[in-house]
Structure formats: structure tokens, C-alpha cells
A and B are shown apart, each in its own frame.
Chain A
């Protein structure tokens, strides 16, 4: 399946991916109305340490520990995509406690958000990748583990 991969050496640390992610998942048609002056809840996170910059989002692990650990049974893997059922999530943060990549965080309503590859929103493909000016994140097939 296609996943989001990181090319760290090309990342400018511009954080555009975070804004594009938050917008794509806002349900709004107007980027300024969706993001301006508001706290945003992106599902991809850029780390900046000195000269090093890179983006981290859900790896859609072969054997996802978040799915096994969710106390509400709210996280599942469907067709390779790790998804959250926000209706079942109670915001206990157990998934945050176990994810080795730090890829989940609570959203505005306290339930968890994570990258679902924009497959269910209007973007239809990862908005972070689409808007990356330097191909520091790409959406492609690199084989699956057995």
C-alpha cells in the first residue's frame, strides 16, 4: 500500500505540511477561515532541532501497537490504514503512551486525531505531501512487510 515517507535532507522546516493537514481535516473550504488566528491540530508534526528538520506522522505500522492497546477498541486497521473511531474514543491517551513515533495527539474535542492519509476527507490524498514544496515527504509504494 501507499504510505507517507520522509526525506529528511530535503525538509526546509517550513511547517506547511502542518497547515495543509489541519486545513484538509477541518472540513472547511476556506483556509484562512479554518486556520487564521486559531490553534491548529495537525496530524503531522515537524521537528526542528538545530539544522535538522523532518516531519513525523503515522507510519501505519505492519503490527500497530496503538490498535492493540486502545482501551475503547476505537482504533482499527482497515485496508492498511490505521483509523480512529472518534465516536468510541474517550480521550484516555493510551495510544499516546504506546506509539513509538509520537504520531497521535488529542484534537480540539479531546478525542484523538492521527493521520488517516486524507483518504476520507475532501483532499482524497495526503494534503501534507501535495503541498510540500521540496518533496521532503512523498506518498508512494515501498513494499509491505509480510
Chain B
């Protein structure tokens, strides 16, 4: 009976468990969970603050999942070290756990640049985990002034989640625009304006020079008075277990399309890895939930002796703020083609005859038809590109393709 060990208990770990069990119903599976929680959906923590979900419904899999999957979950434990020669994990509690195949699914942790005076701030929080959200919720009242450092996905979703619970919200970022990792300047301006209508204030192209208790002195000379500080500057892949062994590590643990690391019998999946982004042809940390699941599943199948490869990963995000929804995917390279209407903008990026990326704001219906063009590298000259520009419709494909997919099993 094969022994599988998974370090981590997030989405990639669940994908890995389900991948293993799709091949091997019998092997033993041990999961090390640093957090004392049944697997939950991390991106839902802002929805929790908004009151749109609760810890019970946030469970990513049913309460009896581990039992049904015959997994042993060690809560409150993380791995201190991997001994690849003895094929054993040493936990931080000192226990040794043997493995035949190992998956590192350690995720990422908040990245904190050195900030002067941070130790003088009494109420400061990250916004990554359910415990972060619970602590933040307990720390605010209807009068609380919140300063969020970071106008990325985490910082802005935090702002939306807190909006109805606090007195005021100010968001600062060193970048010159909001959501700088997924939006260009024009699109970011639309989103920023929408957020400002909700009385969220922005200090962009600015950073905290130093904290002094409840005052942030900004580089620009501005000062912000706050009661609660949220640090959402960025995240860093948790790569140390593999780095310590001399395995290939860039910004994330380097994995191939089978999710194998450079070390024998050790796989990695999720936010701790960097894999190929086929839209840009570069290696990137694709820290998004769908990718974590797909990588985990791929790793699990291969760990159990099956054959799986993830060959079409691209960055993609679906995110909304106060009723304004946006979707982005791929890379913004090549020629830009724009289609805009009242309250909506679509930008497509085409290079080498294929769609490489898009930004859609306000009009997102059936956008998966576009995403599949990127993931499948579909030549633009095989579809009705004029129609595609106007709307995401299955009619863009040829009658032959429609006959096969809508008239057959896919």
C-alpha cells in the first residue's frame, strides 16, 4: 500500500486528494494542516465579512470529505523539514511521517516589506485566512477608521467586505492604479471611480513612510489617522521546504506539467509553485484558486501512478466590487482590440493570430468562450472574429465544431 503525504490543506491539497483517489482507492493519505480548520474556501473571507456566507457554508468540501476519502488529517501541524533520503517528513512537533510520494501544497504567506514604526500599531491584520477575517471582524465597529495598505485583489476585496461594518476606509498603494496586476490604467480608473462612489478613499503612487501609533505618515507628506490597519501588500510563495533541499525554486517552487519538482517523488501544487503560463510563454506564480485545484489534481494522479499533465494554465480572475463585475485572463500582449458600450468595456489582446488575453468590465456574460480561445490557442482565423468582438457566443465557431461539441459527448 502506497503512502501519500500532502503538506497543506487548501485547495491544491483537496485537488491532490481527489487526484490520488481517482487512481488509487487504497493507499494511505496523510494531510498536514497548519490551520485548525476543515478545508474552507479562502477567497470567501471577504464574502464572510459582507454576511454573504458563514464558516459552515465556506467549507470547500463536505464535513465528511476526509472520511469518505480515507484521509488522515493532522490539524495544527506543519512540516519543518523533508528528509528525501529517508523519505520522511519531520513535523514541527518532531514526529516523522514516512512517504512514498509527497505533495508540497504550502500556499503563500503575506509579504511584509520593512515598515518603520509598524510595531507601534496596536491593531494590525493580514487578510489571508479565516482566522484573519474573524479577528478583523471582532476588531471593528461602525466608527472604525480602516487603513488598507495594498490596492490589489486582497486589499480591495477586504475593503468591500468591511464596507458595511466600519466608519471609513482608506486604501494606499505604491502603484499608480488599483488592481495593477490585472488591469491596465484605463480600466483601473473605471474601477477606482466606482469604488470612490462608495466613499472608499485612495492614496495611490504613495506609501507609508512611517507609522506612529494610529497615524500613518505617507511619503507624499499626507497623514492618515486610522484605528485598524490591514496589510495587503502582497504574498510570497512558501518555498522553503524545497529550497532547503536545493530543489529548483524561482519565485515559486518550479514544477513541470506533471507537477513534479526537481526532486524525486516530490510534487508541488498551488500558490507555492511557479508553472508555465501559456498565454505569455513564461513561468509565473499563478496564485488563483482554479489553478491550485487543477495543479493539485494533476499532482495527485501522477503521485498515484497515473498520467496527467496540465498544459494550458493561464492567469484568470473573476471579481466584482459593489455590483461592478470584471473578468480578466491571459496576458496583455500584442494588438489591442476594444469594444465598449454604456457601462461596459472589453479589451482583447491578439498576438501571432491567437487571443492572448482580455479585460472585461461590466459585460461578462459567457466569458468562458473567450477564455477557452486563450487556453486552446484557437487560431483567430478559424472563428468569426467580428462576432466574437461583439459578444461571447458559441456561433463564433464553425458548424462542424458546433456539431461535434453540441451533438456529442465532450
In this complex, the interface size class of chain A, counting residues with CB under 8 Å from chain B, is 35 or more
Contact B366 A102 (CB under 8 A): yes
Interface string of A32-68 (1 = CB under 8 A from B): 0000000000000001010010101001011001001
A135: chain B residues at CB < 8 Å are none
Comparing B255-263, B277-285, B287-295, the segment that makes contact with chain A is B287-295
Asked whether, in the complex, the Cβ of B406 is within 8 Å of the Cβ of A5, the reply is yes
Q: How far is the CA of A92 from the CA of B42 in the complex (A)?
A: 13
Q: Are A143 and B409 in contact (CB under 8 A)?
A: yes
Residues of chain A within 8 A (CB-CB) of B220 are none
A8 in complex: contacting residue of B60, B366, B403, CB < 8 Å = B403
Contact of B394 among A47, A93, A98, A143 (CB under 8 A): A47
Query: CB distance B407 to A93 under 8 Å?
Result: no
Q: Which residues of B contact A29 (CB under 8 A)?
A: none
Contact mask for chain B residues 348-392; partner A; CB cutoff 8 A; 1 contact, 0 none: 000000000000000011111101100000000000000100001
Instruction: State whether A101 and B316 are in contact (beta carbons under 8 Å apart), knowing that A49-B395, A56-B406 are contacts in the complex.
Output: no
Q: A96-B366, A98-B371, A100-B368 are in contact. Are A73 and B60 (CB under 8 A)?
A: yes
Which 10 pairs across A and B sit closest by C-beta, in order of nearness? Answer: A102-B366, A69-B290, A100-B372, A73-B60, A99-B368, A6-B406, A97-B318, A49-B395, A94-B318, A93-B318
Taking A68-B294, A90-B47, A96-B318 as contacts, is the C-beta distance between A59 and B410 under 8 angstroms?
yes
Contact string against B for A residues 1-36, beta-carbon threshold 8 Å, 1 for contact and 0 otherwise: 001011110000000000000000000000000000
Q: Is the CB of B368 within 8 A of A101?
A: yes
Contacts of B97 in A (CB 8 A): none
Which label, helix, strand, loop or mixed, suits the secondary structure of the A interface? loop
- CB-based contact B393/A102 at 8 Å: yes
1-47 of chain B: CB within 8 A of chain A: 14-15, 41, 43-44, 47
- Residue in contact with B395 in the complex, picked from A52, A69, A87, A91, CB distance below 8 Å: A52
B243 within 8 A of A: no
- Contact of B44 with A5 in the complex, beta carbons under 8 Å: no
| B61 proximal to A (CB < 8 A) | yes
Asked if residues B41 and A72 are in contact (CB atoms below 8 Å), the reply is: yes
| Chain B residues with CB under 8 A of A5 | 406-408
Give the A-B pair count, Cβ closer than 8 A.
129
- A93–B393 touching, CB < 8 Å: no
Q: Are A3 and B318 in contact (CB under 8 A)?
A: no
- B169, CB-defined interface residue at 8 Å: no
Q: How far is the CA of A142 from the CA of B327 in the complex (A)?
A: 35
For A145, the chain B residues whose CB sits under 8 A away are: 409-410
| A97 B367 Cβ-Cβ under 8 A | yes
**Given A96-B364, A104-B368, 4 extra CB contacts under 8 A:** A6-B402, A71-B43, A90-B44, A96-B366
Hey, which chain A residues are within 8 Å of B297, CB to CB?
68
Minimum C-beta distance from B106 to chain A (A): 20
Q: Which residues of A contact B59 (CB under 8 A)?
A: 73
Most buried by A among B59, B61, B395, B403: B395
How far does the Cβ of A109 sit from chain B's closest Cβ, in whole Å? 11
Q: Considering the chains assembled together, what is the distance between the CA atoms of A69 and B288 in angstroms?
A: 9
> Does the CB pair A94–B290 fall under 8 Å?
yes
| B368-A102 in contact (CB<8A) | yes
Cβ 8 A contact of B365, one of A61, A87, A96: A96
| Neighbour of A93 across the interface among B60, B364, B372, CB < 8 A | B364
Let me know if B116 is at the binding interface, CB within 8 A.
no
Given known A-B contacts A52-B395, A68-B293, A102-B394, A93 and B410 have beta carbons under 8 A apart: no
* A59 lies within 8 A of B405 (CB): yes
Q: B409 contacts A3, CB within 8 Å?
A: yes
Which residues of chain B are within 8 angstroms of A98 by Cβ–Cβ distance?
290, 316, 368, 371
CA gap between A126 and B58 in the complex, in Å? 31
Chain B nearest CB from A19 CB (Å) reads: 19
**How far is A101 from B405 in the complex, measured between Cα atoms in Å?**
9
The answer to whether the Cβ of A105 comes within 8 Å of any Cβ in the partner chain is yes
A71 CA to B293 CA, complexed, in Å: 10
Chain B residues with CB below 8 A from A105, complex form: 365-366
B325 at the A interface (CB under 8 A):
yes
B329/A97 in contact, CB under 8 A: yes
The answer to whether A54 and B406 have CB atoms under 8 Å apart is: yes
Chain A, residues 95-120, CB within 8 Å of chain B (1/0): the string is 11111111011000000000000000
A93 touches B399 (CB 8 A): no
Task: Tell me which of A6, A68, A91 contacts B407 (CB under 8 A).
Answer: A6
Is the CB of B320 closer than 8 A to any CB of chain A? Answer: yes
Q: Is B251 an interface residue (CB 8 A)?
A: no
B61, B368, B406, most chain A CB atoms within 10 A: B368
Q: In the complex, which residues of chain B have a beta carbon less than 8 angstroms from the beta carbon of A101?
A: 368-369, 394, 405-406
Is the beta-carbon distance between A62 and B410 smaller than 8 angstroms? yes
Which of A5, A47, A61 neighbours the largest number of chain B CB atoms within 10 Å of its CB? A47
0 or 1 for each of B308-345: is its CB under 8 Å from A? (1 = yes): 00000000111110000101010000000000000000
Flag whether A144 is at the interface (Cβ < 8 A).
yes
